[in-house]
Structure 1
Amino acid sequence: MGSKSDKGGTGNKGRPGRTRRAVLFGGLGVVTAAAVAGRDELGQAWWLVPGVSKPRKDGELDHAGASWTAASPANWRLADRPADYRVDRIVVHVTQGGFKSSVDAFKNPFHRASAHYIVGQDGHIEQMVRELDVAFHSGNRSMNERSVGIEHVGFVNRPQDFTDAMYEASARLAADVCRRYGIPADRKHFLGHSEVPGADHTDPGRHWDWGRYLRMVNEAGAAGPQKA
């Protein structure tokens, strides 16, 4: 499950997940950088003013096959990805618990962790944080800023928890994320939680079938966008 931290990683300076434009704006200031970028950028730069974010609607979904439950605001950070942080990774998690307990944990402000999505053993997908925003799921600030976190309901030592319906739904979801951000579906860009630098978790564990999963993600990507 998501890690209880949005700290660590490389810090603010030289974050690998920051876009070139975000660094430019951070160094020169909104007005100066917008002028350098040109008139079109100036017209779109209003949301870079501190405290202002891109328009969004409560309950709006990024994935057509999902339902919405909001995670506690204490468990994620407002952002405007991919304009301020480049999204180029997907982190795969296992909840180490049931669906309801996982949803309840992300709704709990004292949990201090969340993921963008939870995928159930029946293939149901619950979105809990917008992809625009930074979910606290990996225990590494830089990785959180550059990634989408997908939880899978079950336990790492129970291979039977990773059902066909779960793999299929998660693959469609991941293919949709890859399509939006131009992420290649390979092991460089898909990480297990245990592979995140500084992680102290073991998920998704040895029973997660990476070969099968990535093959299904690529097949779902080739099939085209999912309809609502």
Structure 2
Amino acid sequence: MFKTFLTSTALMLSLATYAKAEAPMAFDVAEDHTRIHMATAPLHENGMPAHGNAFVSQGYIYPAGTLAEGAVGVLEDGSPAFPDLVLGTWTCDGYFVGEGGNATTGVWIISRQTFAFDDGATVVTQGTEIADIGQPNLRPVTGATGEFADINGGLIQTTLGFNDFWGLSATYVFEDRTPDPASGPDHASYGTDQIDKTDHLEWDSGVPVGPIFDDGLSPST
């Protein structure tokens, strides 16, 4: 009985370790053009979404490298080009800002992105999106479940381009939060050398956080 218990425990620990190791630390996304929905206004004169235009979109999550070399991840009818490789569903909602759909560089979208993996794990990020192709952009992770529950840091988005159907192709990699020996234990290196290592997700102003009362005193004083 005791031997069986030990064997079962070892098996469960082995499976847990395997599952954790299998959590992808990088992945690609192919936007499904048939599930892009934008508000009818405001628009630029050329019909592209302008500042303040709201949208929601969905697409497919693939293993990292699937969309390399210009591979298109979505067929014309909106179905996945590589159905056997689909890891889950990506949902993005938010607003166009600045030059919106006419932007060629800099921030053009403020969004929330939800990565729902088929195994039930989820990752949520919120922040800016930039129009620059091939330029990494760090987005804070604001929530995660399942195998990603212990993620500490951000998710780096790099837009690879847009396919013939105007669907986004992008690749993502989690920020590497392991201590950087060159910077000391309080600093972290990122998953790419192209991002300025002075970037950070949190800033401590030194001001106490809590309710502020008109007289500057707490209710008990």
- Higher strand content, 1 or 2: 2
Q: Which has the bigger relative contact order, CA under 8 A and spacing at least 6?
A: 1
- Higher helix content, 1 or 2: 1
TM, length-normalised to structure 2: 0.27
TM, length-normalised to structure 1: 0.26
Higher Cα Rg, which structure: 2
